[in-house]
Amino acid sequence: MKRSTILYFLVSVLAASCTKDITSLNNNNKAATSVPSSSLFLNGEKNLSDALAGTSVYATPFRVIAQSWTENTYVSEAQYNLTIDNSPQGWWNELYASGTASVLNSLADAKTIIPTDITDTAAQKNALLITDILEVYTYSLLVNTYGNVPYSQALNSKIPFPAYDDAKTIYYDLLARLDTAIAGLNTSGLSFGASDNIYQGNVTEWKKFAATLKLKLALVIADVDPSTAGTKVQEAVNAGVFTSNSDNAVFDYSSAITTNSNPVYQAFISRHDFSPTDLIIDTLLSWNDPRLPLLFTQINGTYAGGVPGAGNGYVKFSQFSSQWLSPSWPGDLLDYAETEFLLAEAAERGFTVSGSAATHYNNGVTASINFWGADSAAAAAYLAQPSVAYATAAGTWKQKIGWQQWLAYADRGWDAWTSIRRLGYPNLDVINPPVGAVSNLPRRFTYPSAEETINPTNWAAAVQAVTGGTADGVQFNLWWNK
């Protein structure tokens, strides 16, 4: 794993000082007057990783919704009731809200300062493009969670009540921005260096990241626009996607300072609000999965998972492994296992990629097993089972890939939820509906309640466009999810 010794909390302190009125300098001669773009970029990286790795039901209940985890005591999110703790508002704030705590504001501030504090022309261009890649990633989270969202007018202090752009229009613009980044990155040039906690300034890896993200976004639209999806998939592969776990985009957390540790560790220091679900435990058991002891612990000599939506109680079920609860366990933004499952899907759809769906499926399973700490021999034995082997596993290609991708996303809740929405597997509404569920699996998040109050005209237009009516509900499919 890569390691960085940067003290992230200093970034927030410095950035916060920039929001003060300039007259405050009269009272504190040591107050910072500017923040380096590298610090703001690092802050954006960390905010994004924290958002994706977070466990708070007030913002990031995705592992619970996707049934990798379930709640032990307070079961609202496990029952798909997202209004009790206002998860849609929290997730929106993590990515959008003003101030350095949000992802997009940190990245936008970095882009503003880069032209003034990075003098090398090639390094400046690389830094701007890499920052833009992370903005694309973040907007893809928003548009694929809510539908129409503020985009062209977002983050503009002169427009306090931004319009919501059409989700499809945003999406194609995000793909175009990735094209620009891939074409423009200079792999022999510099970027942020050690201030980049994901790739330590390695521009070649960032180009692979952009191509892999393009592959991922292209397949989201494969059901509604297969022509564009196929073209973008081929372009992404030609540009060079991830080819091993060494390419994984992981944010390295630290055990030295609690606020710099993995959010899962922070959540479990004093509370035990979650347990693995019966579905993931039973699936791992039934397929003799070597990841089982690497993910979870035994309880009373066996493995057992909690029932989604039921008040489970902490001591009754398996818990999370010591490596998963390590303060330095990395935050995973994009990885090789995911890449291979996407290539398997592309092959099944008839898109131009080398290798068979079965080969890519095997590579994806092996990469996930290796990531969690088991060797390739264990992966080969696992794949040799008729219930797992691509040729003999049950169901369509969507079912085979969907189940294995869901397991590989055990620590990536938003992606697990999105994979289920796209491929339909595991079909939680049929095989494991939560006790007391208030709806079927949410297809989207409703808009934050605050938007209806402070931006009512634009909110109402967005609701009409996304849902076809005045009701803002979780049951409505997004434009690509037909």
Summarised one tens digit per residue, pLDDT across range 223-236 is 999 999 999 999 99
Report phi then psi at 135, rounded to 5. Answer: -65, -45
pLDDT of the residue at 100: 63
Residue 131 CA to residue 154 CA, distance in Å, equals 16
Residue 11 CA to residue 14 CA, distance in Å, equals 5
pLDDT at 408 over 50: yes
Q: Comparing C-alpha atoms, which of 43, 143, 147, 146 is closest to residue 103?
A: 43
pLDDT at 12 over 50: no
Signed CA dihedral, 231, 237, 239, 241: sign only: positive
Mean pLDDT of the chain: 92
What are 423's two structure tokens?
Answer: 């491929």
pLDDT of the residue at 271: 83
The pLDDT tens digits of the residues spanning 435-459 come to: 999 999 999 999 999 999 999 999 9
pLDDT over 90, % of the chain: 87
pLDDT at 298 over 90: yes
Domains and CATH numbers, the chain: 8-267+325-467 (1.25.40.390)
pLDDT of the residue at 312: 82
